[in-house]
Amino acid sequence: MPHTGIDRALGFCLLCLIILGILFVYSSSYYRAMRKGEDSTYYLFGHLKRLLIAALFFFAGLIIPYEAVRKVILPLYVVIVIVLVLTLVAGRVQFGARRSLAISTFGLQVSEFVRIWLVFFLANFFSTHPSTANTGKGVLMAIAICLFLIMLVAIQPSISMALICFILLFIMLTYGSAKVKLLFPTLAMSCVMFVLFIALFPHARDRITGFISNPTYQVQQSLIAIGSGGLFGKGPGAGLQKFLFLPRIHNDFIFAHIAEEFGFIGSFIVFFLYWEIYLRGLSIAGAVADEFARMLVLGLNASIFVIFLIHVGVSIGLLPPTGIPLPFISFGGWSLSANLFAMGLVLQASRRRMV
């Protein structure tokens, strides 16, 4: 019989990360706010406002049946393509890229939801068309549809988000039991496209070449923050990197802030919460009877954990700077909304576990 309640362990871990995010955003941004002539809580209240919007997405994912979203996958594809094209043509330029479409006083960044659409599309493809999914022609057609969206994201340019989508595409193909002989060509094609985009866009090329030749200033400061934290950290509010030594520490490098002020112990607790969410996601996927729900949970669960690993990888110097925020913790935005929507869907699926 189906389980009627949500997965409480996953919900608890998610709530812990959100609460910690509120604390970390304030402790890492109050000085930056005062230097701008604002109140020390400027970024904190900005984060809380974005968190309220993200909460609407979370409850939408929790309440709206994912079967309803499944029925409009193709119309959503058309909408996403139109918005991405409009963003490329008339989007707001930020940090040398057009990643958001200005609507009134806010910017719509649909690229954050491309990865969620990819998971929906591929989960539906493998669960609804198993015979087609076992043919080379069918899988290649699905891959081509996904790569077109990823290409539109990459040429904004948003190479980091495109890379996440590439990884998710490969993960979903693996979960869908696509033939191995198709996985390697897909991986090779993705690598070629990734290298091509890096070559075409100086912004991305400079990051890669700078990372290979010498760690960037941000990475150097991040490593200083992490190393100086030691086992227990310097203590809440005692970190130094937030005094504008590490730019955008409240967003792109908030893991370094956590490590500096709360040390290895604090970092381990944060890692444990993400790991527990990942394990609960796997457990939910294994307990649902519907193949579409299983694939959906596996994909959304993987997307959160991949983003977490990339953010930490950048912070410790294993990856070049990407501008990827830490899920549920970094200063809010469309990424926070997309991640909470994904978790709402996973928790919705947890109510349908077979016990």
pLDDT at 245: 85
Give the 3-state DSSP-derived string for the chain, with helices as H, strands as E and coil as C. Answer: CECCCCCHHHHHHHHHHHHHHHHHHHHHHHHHHHHCCCCCCHHHHHHHHHHHHHHHHHHHHHHCCHHHHHCCHHHHHHHHHHHHHHHHHHCEEECCEEEEEEECCEEECHHHHHHHHHHHHHHHHHHHCHHHHCCHHHHHHHHHHHHHHHHHHHCCCCHHHHHHHHHHHHHHHHHCCCCHHHHHHHHHHHHHHHHHHHHHCHHHHHHHHHHHHCCCHHHHHHHHHHHHHCCCCCCCCCCCCCCCCCCCCCCCCHHHHHHHHHHHHHHHHHHHHHHHHHHHHHHHHHHECCHHHHHHHHHHHHHHHHHHHHHHHHHCCCCCCCCCCCCCCCCCCHHHHHHHHHHHHHHHHHCCEEC
pLDDT at 179: 64
pLDDT at 158: 80
For the entire predicted model, the pTM comes to 0.92
Question: What are the extents of the domains in the chain?
Answer: 8-350
pLDDT at 323: 80
Binned average pLDDT, 10 residues per bin, the chain of 355 residues: 78 96 93 89 93 95 92 92 85 64 68 92 87 74 88 82 88 76 70 73 68 77 91 88 86 93 94 96 92 94 95 89 89 90 95 78
